[in-house]
A and B are shown apart, each in its own frame.
Chain A
Amino acid sequence: MVANKDITFSVRRGTVHAIVGENGAGKSTLMKILYGVQRPDEGTIKVDGQLVNLHSPSDAIAAGIGMVFQHFMLADNLTVLENVVLGAEKLHGIGDGARREIKRISDAYKLDVDADALVADLGVGARQRIEILKVLFRGAKTLILDEPTAVLVPQEVDELFDQLAELKDEGLTVLFISHKLDEVLKVADSITVIRRGTTIDTVDPKSVNARQLAELMVGSELPSPTTEESTVTDRVLLKLDNIALGSGTGRPVLDDISLTIHAGEVLGIAGVEGNGQAELVEVIMGMREPSSGEVFLGDIDISDWHVREIREAGVGYIPEDRHRHALLLEAPLWENRILGHQTEAPNVKGLLIDAAAAKADTERIVKDYDVRTPSIFVTAGSLSGGNQQKLIIGREMSHKPKVLIAAHPTRGVDVGAQSSIWDHIRDARREGLAVLLISADLDELIGLSDTIRVILRGKLSGEFDPDNVTAEDLGAAMTGAGEKEASR
């Protein structure tokens, strides 16, 4: 396959081919081209030696290319069967024919999918298998998986890799996109490295190690998220006292959560997604009322404060879902720079928006945080994920927060940007910033945090010392397998 003038690589049938590299204009654009969402300006794509012209996703599917997105596109209130046939009703009908086909695919590739289960009842791993099944159901022979492991815990990752091996054995081709180099090395048969929109090299995973691979990607010495000497002080900046949040019925979403973060401290929260992290953040930010408990900023009780007051008081917020909570995708960058700080300088003068000052400051953020954009007047939605994230982090850091609530600050961000984001967090920490870091990337947690705690079913575990904890220990605590050890 040859896509675009700058990108050249070929994938053999029956292999897992990994693509690693920067986000920028590289990977996501390449994926869009392969899936027919975007048209290449030059170059050709060949499937099985045949030149194909991909104008739309349906062309891609017709050419046997299927895409498994990072964000699942499933309707919770429908069954697996209904989700799978949605949009592909003509293939095998919507009844028993489709059910038989799902069963056949599920058995053939050992996907273990029950056609009549309700999606809402299924876990993340199962949902991902449905996404894969959806693509196979439509007759794909080449699967593109975009960051498939981002949402999985280590144990689920292993299961996914077993399934990929199964697909490969059946003669399917898998394009695997990931930032996690050790995973790529484990699963891929060959690896193509992209940097700044150009293919750097295609390497054999047996001949490189993770460090060499990462250096190929960044093009320079590899950063690693290591905190130097401790900067933790004894000044408490954020304190949660017995926070609980009910879910209406059954198990509470947050159960008696107490934590303390000092100036200069990074408190990392590990956990499988959906164990209360999102709700915890929303309680701290004032977007949700806890059923009981208090939140203190310094020694002020902010439990009853509204989001705006909390942000004005110096709490920076990097939300987990930047599209939903941090950006106006259809608004230009400079308006997005105002968002979240509508009442603060330099964005406003009294009751009026100070567009000139906001624009000037956006230029500064774009420069300081290396946001790759042709101008500050393009819409936020036209930037790549990594650049959107850099803009958000630049915006939050510009207001000199005392406390930073950072949920997955480097998710979907390329290695280069990742290290610069880590640097910014470390610099701010040295100056006395208190950080609540929620991340699914255990290396990031271990590397950045002064203290790590694990959240499981709305409860916080005891403290882990990042210097002496392994990813496996955390993984066990995250799934509840090692509940005894977790309490230390």
Chain B
Amino acid sequence: MKSLNVRRILMSLAAPVLALVVAFVVTSLVLVAVGDPVGEVWKTILAVPKPRQGVNIINAASVFYISAIAVAVGFRMNLFNIGVDGQYRVAVFAAAVFAGQGWLPGWLNIIVSILIAMVAGGLWASIAAYLKVKRGVSEVISTIMLNAIATGVVSWLLLKVADRKEGSNSIETKTIPDSSQLEGFKLIPGATNRVYTLLILAVLVGLLYWFVLGKTRFGFDLRATGRSETAAVASGVKVPRMVVTAMIASGALAGLVGMPLLFGQDHNYGTTFQSGLGFAGIGIALLGRNNAVGIAFGALLWAFLDVQSNALQIQAGVAQELVNIIQGVILFAVVIAYELIRRADKRIEQSRVASELAAQRRAAPATEGAPA
């Protein structure tokens, strides 16, 4: 049993490491091909982050983490929620509007706003769930379309409720009262900026995900459905209900994605609010193999690359969009590597089972009578 675990761990580490190496090589080749300074680029990206950047990395990672967990909930039962992007947008808008009114004091305002965000995200996701269960519409298609719709709906509503400031071009919701703005933790010494208070939210989401999926009956049913829908049905799982539940849970978690940003940084929702977090989540969930700890590493890596690439333009004279190439190649490579390793793992296990049984047999004849 021990040896099996060691093999498992090595096997699951092999893929991401391989993917990073491939990404490094491919990116270098791209740089060489266009005549950019390869050495300079890697020196910038792989430099030890300054304390301020360290804080930025942790902040970005916490947001990525929630997004990736939201995606992973769907992935675990073969449900591809591509709509985290739209769900968090709708949710953060709803929460921002509510929080901006300042009807409730301090933390109460924050907590109720977070709940509103979860409900909004869940409701938005439930449209896709309904379409899948009742009408057989693929959730991939419906969530992608709902992303576009979410962008439109939110922009339109934003214009309705916007709190236009004099002399400013940006359109945004009413800024939340000071009492509900979160200052953050001074986690890294020497940094002038602070880590989001709602980093706690990411930690809680991770714990919840690990516990519910790994330890509860509900989680077992969900994973069983993902592994084999037919076997799940025969074992008594009500699959349509499971689809609805998982989709709404995914959407509710997606609703949390914007919360650290809203309460720790932006304090309102406007046209400049960070976008694309949902898509990053899909990649990170893949990279982290839908595992609570794996996703944490994936989120940190993603955040590290994002933050470090900011200096590329100044230090190496290379556009910071280069990081998209690196991230893209990592994803490609990791998906391929996981599949290769999954197959190899299956083969190794089958032959290992066969050979261990053969060994048992060789030991057995003494008691069971030698074969003729």
Contact = CB atoms under 8 A, between A and B. Distances in A.
Interface of A: 6, 24-25, 29, 38-39, 41, 195-198, 200-201, 216, 219, 285, 287, 306-312, 317, 319, 324-331, 335, 338-343, 348, 351-353, 372-375, 377-379, 381-383
Contacts of A308: 235-238
Chain A interface main SS type: loop
Contacts of A319: 234
A448 B230 CA distance: 29
A382 B346 contact: yes
B204 to A, nearest CB: 19
A331 B217 contact: no
A101 B372 CA distance: 47
A340 B237 CA distance: 9
Interface stretch (B96-104, B128-136, B304-312, B348-356): B348-356
Contacts of A195: 371
Contacts of A25: 354, 357-358, 361
Contact of B224 (A285, A307, A339, A348): A339
Contacts of B361: 25, 196-198
B227 interface: yes
12 contacts: A25-B354, A25-B358, A29-B354, A285-B234, A310-B236, A331-B227, A342-B221, A343-B236, A373-B353, A375-B1, A379-B346, A383-B353
A306 B353 contact: no
Interface residues of B, number: 39
B85 to A, nearest CB: 30
A310 B353 CA distance: 35
B217 A339 contact: no
Most buried by A among B217, B231, B358, B369: B231
B316 to A, nearest CB: 44
B216 A38 contact: no
A342 B235 contact: yes
B215 interface: yes
Interface of B: 1, 4, 215-221, 223-224, 227-228, 230-231, 233-238, 346-347, 349-358, 360-361, 364, 369, 371-372
Given A324-B231, A327-B228, A342-B221, 13 more contacts: A6-B358, A38-B347, A198-B371, A307-B234, A372-B360, A373-B353, A377-B1, A377-B4, A378-B352, A379-B346, A379-B349, A382-B349, A382-B352
B11 to A, nearest CB: 13
B272 to A, nearest CB: 43
Contact of A340 (B4, B236, B351): B236
A150 to B, nearest CB: 21
Chain B interface main SS type: helix
B215 A352 contact: yes
Contacts of A38: 347, 350-351, 354
Which 9 A-B pairs give the minimum distances between C-beta atoms? A308-B236, A374-B356, A325-B234, A340-B235, A307-B236, A324-B230, A328-B227, A382-B353, A382-B350
Contacts of B230: 324-325
B372 to A, nearest CB: 5
B288 to A, nearest CB: 18
Contact of A219 (B234, B355, B369): B369
Given A219-B372, A351-B218, A374-B357, A325 B351 contact: no
A306 B238 contact: yes
Contacts of B346: 379, 381-382
B231 A24 contact: no
Contacts of A200: 371-372
Contacts of A331: 223-224, 227
A361 to B, nearest CB: 15
Contact of B217 (A287, A348, A381): A348
Contacts of A375: 1, 4
A24 B357 contact: yes
Nearest to B234: A325
Contact of A324 (B4, B228, B352): B228
Contacts of A341: 235
Given A317-B234, A324-B231, A377-B4, A353 B217 contact: yes
